[in-house]
């Protein structure tokens, strides 16, 4: 079984020299030397120390001299949560002009139908799509087949997967069938889309700097109290960021970790909270979890929600 029913995160681009630029900007605040001189002479060890000081003392402005661009495939439910983060830039797949994911789903049912997303917009073709979907729903109750088809166009919640809820999946397909029947009747794309479920896939390009990621997005969205899909996305982002700039993001994490880092004498990498090597110094987290339960809460939040 493929993982198409899950959201997907990909780092499209980033500023390779971000750690050095952040460290230089930080050092600039107490140095009379020009940027070029500081940048030329700063060592890798100094870069690590300056970044650690920034995070430890909450001096966030130098972290803004960075850029990370992500491509995220998720549900419309979660894309609406993501864009609430204001210090970022977004570009999203248009639901008025593209039914790419829906046509991929239909082409997986009937190979004779072209998977090209926008080529044929005739009413007869739309009616054909609706018939194909209804015929498929009527002919099978096989969970794996239904999941394989629905996953082409929708993010499927973990509890639906664990329950093998065919009724849920058929309702998704039924909504798409209705959507295409409305198009066949001459209803506009912008009006027909009102019948589509919010679990439909969308694609969004998101650009954030390190400060917004460390101080806002990751603390809120990596928390175990966050909704399961955006939590999965946030942890996926954190793992990707640690591969490219570990020196910046190794101390980032849920809000409990964010607050605990500022209460500590020395920073503790998130991996040590996950392995119980780092005991929180705060009495309770912002969500009121007591100290002895914080690490368990972090570990729970880090897990794939489809495996819980």
Residue-wise pLDDT for 167-183, tens only, equals 999 999 999 999 999 99
Span 124-142, average pLDDT: 93
Among 76, 103, 211, 221, the one annotated catalytic: 221
Specify the residue for token string 């960021």: 241
How far CA 259 is from CA of 217, 263, 265, in Å, comes to 14, 7, 13
> What secondary structure does DSSP assign to 107-158, as a single string?
HHH-TTS---SSS---HHHHHHHHHHHHHHHHH---HHHHHHHHTTTB---H
Beta-carbon count within 10 A of 203 CB: 16
- Rounded to whole angstroms, the Cα distance separating 253 from 241 reads 12
Contact 63, 252 (CB under 8 A): no
Among the listed residues 92, 84, 98, the one whose alpha carbon sits nearest the alpha carbon of residue 196? 98
Global pTM reads: 0.94
Span 249-278, average pLDDT: 96
pLDDT for 30: 87
Does the annotation count 221 as an active-site position? yes
pLDDT for 123: 87
Among the listed residues 162, 170, 248, the one whose alpha carbon sits nearest the alpha carbon of residue 213? 248
Domains in the chain with CATH codes: 8-91+203-307 (3.30.1360.170), 100-199 (no CATH)
pLDDT in tens, 9-66: 999 999 999 999 999 999 898 888 889 899 999 999 999 999 999 998 888 999 999 9
pLDDT for 284: 95
Angle between helices 100-109 and 123-139 (to 10 degrees): 50
pLDDT in tens, 190-244: 999 999 999 999 999 999 999 999 999 999 999 999 999 999 999 999 999 999 9
């Amino acid at each position: 079984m493929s993982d198409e029913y899950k959201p997907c995160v990909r780092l499209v681009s980033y500023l390779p020299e971000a750690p050095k630029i952040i460290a230089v900007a930080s050092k600039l605040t107490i140095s009379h030397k020009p940027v070029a001189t500081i940048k030329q002479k700063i060592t890798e060890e100094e870069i690590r120390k300056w970044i650690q000081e920034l995070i430890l003392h909450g001096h966030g402005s130098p972290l803004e001299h960075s850029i990370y661009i992500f491509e995220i495939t998720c549900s419309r439910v979660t894309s609406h949560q993501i864009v609430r983060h204001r210090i970022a830039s977004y570009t999203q797949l248009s639901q008025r002009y593209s039914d790419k994911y829906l046509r991929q789903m239909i082409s997986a049912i009937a190979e004779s139908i072209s998977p090209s997303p926008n080529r044929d917009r005739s009413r007869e073709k739309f009616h054909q799509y609706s018939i194909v979907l209804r015929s498929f729903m009527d002919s099978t109750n096989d969970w794996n087949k239904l999941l394989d088809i629905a996953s082409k166009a929708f993010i499927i919640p973990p509890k639906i997967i664990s329950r093998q809820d065919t009724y849920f999946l058929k309702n998704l397909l039924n909504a798409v069938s209705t959507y295409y029947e409305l198009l066949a009747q001459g209803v506009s794309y912008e009006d027909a889309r009102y019948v589509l479920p919010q679990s439909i896939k969308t694609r969004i390009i998101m650009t954030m700097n390190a400060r917004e990621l460390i101080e806002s997005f990751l603390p809120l969205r990596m928390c175990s109290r966050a909704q399961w899909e955006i939590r999965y996305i946030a942890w996926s982002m954190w793992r990707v960021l640690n591969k490219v700039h570990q020196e910046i993001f190794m101390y980032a994490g849920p809000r409990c970790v964010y607050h605990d880092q500022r209460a500590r004498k020395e920073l503790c990498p998130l991996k040590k909270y996950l392995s119980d090597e780092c005991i929180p110094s705060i009495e309770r987290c912002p969500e009121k979890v007591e100290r002895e339960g914080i690490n368990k809460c972090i570990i729970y939040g880090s897990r794939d929600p489809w495996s819980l």
